[in-house]
Amino acid sequence: MSDAEPTPLLISDVQERVARELDRLAPVIDELGRRFSEAGHTIALVGGPVRDAMLGRLHNDLDFTTSARPDVTERLLRGLTDAIWDMGRDFGTIGARIGGWQVEITTFRSEAYDPDSRKPEVNFGDTLEGDLGRRDFTVNAMALTIPDRGFEDPFGGLVDLAAGVLRTPGTPEQSFSDDPLRMMRAARFAAQLGFTPAPEVVAAMTEMAARIEIISAERVRDELVKLICAPYPRRGLRLLVDTGLAEYVLPELPALALERDEHHRHKDVYEHTLTVLEQAIDLEKARGGPDAEPDFISRFAALMHDVGKPRTRKFLDDGTVTFHHHDMVGAKITRKRMRALRFSNDQIDAVSKLVELHLRFHGYDSGEWTDSAVRRYVRDAGDQLERLHILTRADCTTRNKRKADRLRRTYDSLEERIARLSEQEELDAMRPDLDGAQIMQILQIAPGPVVGKAYKFLLELRMDHGPQSPEAAEAALRAWWAEQQAGS
């Protein structure tokens, strides 16, 4: 399954990986370190690049922390790069490109949120240890000073990294009070690294979950996207639900735990949904190759596909439960949630379409669909067809092997029919056999609503009967037009 256990970490492996990574980074860290050191300033590689070097994950985006103020940092970078940007100057950050690396150098700092503010207050610090102590988790509070390549780990991050544990440098209550988004980051790192949050971290997240409301929707959205695109999303999502954070950022997910699925009575809809997500990830890799980039649209559609069930649940007299039209209701709920999280219109449209169409295949049964129905399936899916294939297949979580095999074979048959018709009829570019200009010329009419109606008629003709010759399409159009005029 996609949520397999991460590989245990050995200290000897860590040391070897770090040495190799520092050698790889030598072209940038040696000269950068020399410049800051000669100017009397401390500079250190810090955060994710240090952590990931220990995990064997390579970075070309490098984060540094320094005692130098932004103006000094900018001056020391001159001559080393011709590309400097200072959009983060107010937060103490100067960015630059050095060779093939993009670097961000931030003055030692501390930041905290006012209880009622969405924007952090930034204060510059004076020591490396003080800067590390203000970071989110101990595994991100390690540093490698340059140019001497000294290892700084005042809070035991290496031990926690080896144990796969997420702890905060200080108390989690203080950490999450300073920046409530760190609670989302805990879930994201659980999903990315497969780590387990320490009990006190979970307790603080549970107690302080409501504080996430002061964080902007955009920042919450960005963390959620990273979580869902991570290798172990089930871990992160479970943490959000178990601590109550999901009630504030994605309330549709914990609501599913209250429902029973009429097709999968051995598990609730929440568990079914997490399994569908994992199976979608497996299919994403199987169809796109092992190096395929994580597809947020496909994964989020899997996560949201059944969110309409709580609102459509009905108990029948015989004890069964139905969720009629939960696909349509779920698409509306999905659209509303994604708008609240400030997703783009294109993302909202794509995910909502997949949620709306995820049950369409079940009308196919054993292949009784006409070619017309197959064409409509392709047209309605549009550019989301491949993702719809993944979602529909992933939605089968039955433990009945015979039933699962039958569903798989049936969908194989549908994909084969789509491929065959696509080859014959260019379904991906499905349009009427006459365009708007031809319609106006044949009917001798000016641009207006009637052209659109005629276009729609010809598209339906194309759906029902496949491609038409120009002569046949024109004859059908003239017959339709005669009916329209006779009825007016």
142 lies in the same domain as 237:
no
pLDDT score recorded for residue 367: 64
Residue 94 belongs to a domain: yes
The residues that bridge with 98 in the sheet, in sequence order, are 101
Residue bearing the bigger pLDDT, 424 or 26: 26
* Distances 22 to 27, 28, 99 between C-alpha atoms, Å: 9, 10, 15
Note whether 414 and 374 are within 8 A (CB): yes
Q: Domain check: are 416 and 452 in the same one?
A: no
Q: State the pLDDT at residue 375.
A: 85
> Rounded distance, CA 299 to CA 478, Å?
47
Q: Would you say residue 246 has pLDDT above 90?
A: yes
Domain end residue (candidates: 163, 191, 217):
163
Q: What is the CATH number of the domain that holds 218?
A: 1.10.110.30
For residues 193 and 314, membership in a common domain is answered with: no
SS3 per residue for the chain: CCCCCCCCCCHHHHHHHHHHHHHHHHHHHHHHHHHHHHCCCCEEEECHHHHHHHHCCCCCEEEEEECCCHHHHHHHHECCECCEECCCHHHCEEEEEECCEEEEEEECEEEEECCCCCCEEEEECCCHHHHHHCCCCHHHCCEEECCCCEEECCCCHHHHHHHCEECCCCCHHHHHHHCCHHHHHHHHHHHHHCCEECHHHHHHHHHHHHHHHHCCHHHHHHHHHHHHCCCCHHHHHHHHHHHCCHHHHCCHHHHHHHCEECCEEEEEHHHHHHHHHHHHHHHHHHHHCCCCCCCHHHHHHHHHCCCCHHHHCEECCCCCEECCCHHHHHHHHHHHHHHHCCCCHHHHHHHHHHHHHCCHHHHCCCCCCCHHHHHHHHHHHHHHHHHHHHHHHHCCCCCCHHHHHHHHHHHHHHHHHHHHHHHHHCHHHCCCCCCHHHHHHHHCCCCCHHHHHHHHHHHHHHHHHCCCCHHHHHHHHHHHHHHHHHHC
pLDDT, one tens digit per residue, over 58-116 is: 878 999 999 999 999 999 999 898 789 988 898 899 999 998 899 999 999 866 666 66
pLDDT value at residue 199 = 98
For residue 256, being part of any structural domain is answered with no
CA atoms of 183 and 39, how far apart (whole Å): 38
Average pLDDT over residues 211-217: 95
Residue 224 has pLDDT above 80, yes or no: yes
> What is the Cβ-side half-sphere exposure of residue 299, based on CA atoms within 13 angstroms?
22
The closest of 16, 37, 44 to 151, measured between CA atoms, is 44
Q: Does one domain contain both 80 and 98?
A: yes
| pLDDT score for 217 | 96
My answer on whether 273 and 368 are in the same domain is yes
What is the pLDDT at residue 7?
Answer: 63
167, with CB counted inside 10 A (0-12, 13-18, 19+), is buried
User: Is there a single domain that holds both residue 97 and residue 73?
Assistant: yes
User: Last residue of some domain: 408, 429, 450?
Assistant: 429
Q: Is there a single domain that holds both residue 6 and residue 140?
A: yes
Spatial separation of the C-alpha atoms in residues 355 and 252, rounded to whole Å: 14
Number of domains, the chain: 4
Same domain, 461 and 356: no
**Average pLDDT over every residue of 328-346:** 97
CATH number at residue 82: 3.30.460.10
Please give the average per-residue pLDDT across 227-243, as a whole number. 97
279, 397: one domain: yes
Question: Which tokens go with 177?
Answer: 């009070």
User: pLDDT value at position 483?
Assistant: 87
Tokens read off for 293: 């980039």
- Is residue 195 located within the same domain as residue 314? no
Is position 298 within any domain?
yes
Q: How far apart are CA 326 and CA 310, in angstroms?
A: 8
For the entire predicted model, the pTM comes to 0.83
Evaluate whether residue 75 is within a structural domain: yes
Residues 209 and 101 placed together within one structural domain of the fold: no
- Asked if residue 276 is part of any domain, the answer here is yes
* 255 within some domain: no
133 plus 23 within the same structural domain: yes
Which of the four pLDDT bands, split at 50, 70 and 90, describes residue 137? very high
Q: Which CATH number belongs to the domain containing residue 409 in this structure?
A: 1.10.3210
CA distance 358 to 300: 13
> Which is higher by pLDDT, 250 or 370?
250
Q: Is residue 442 part of a domain?
A: yes
* Of 196, 220, 250, the domain-final residue: 250
Q: Provide the residue range defining the domain that includes 464.
A: 436-487
Tokens of 195: 């780590």
The pLDDT tens digits of the residues spanning 255-305 come to 998 645 445 444 589 999 999 999 999 999 898 887 889 999 999 999 999
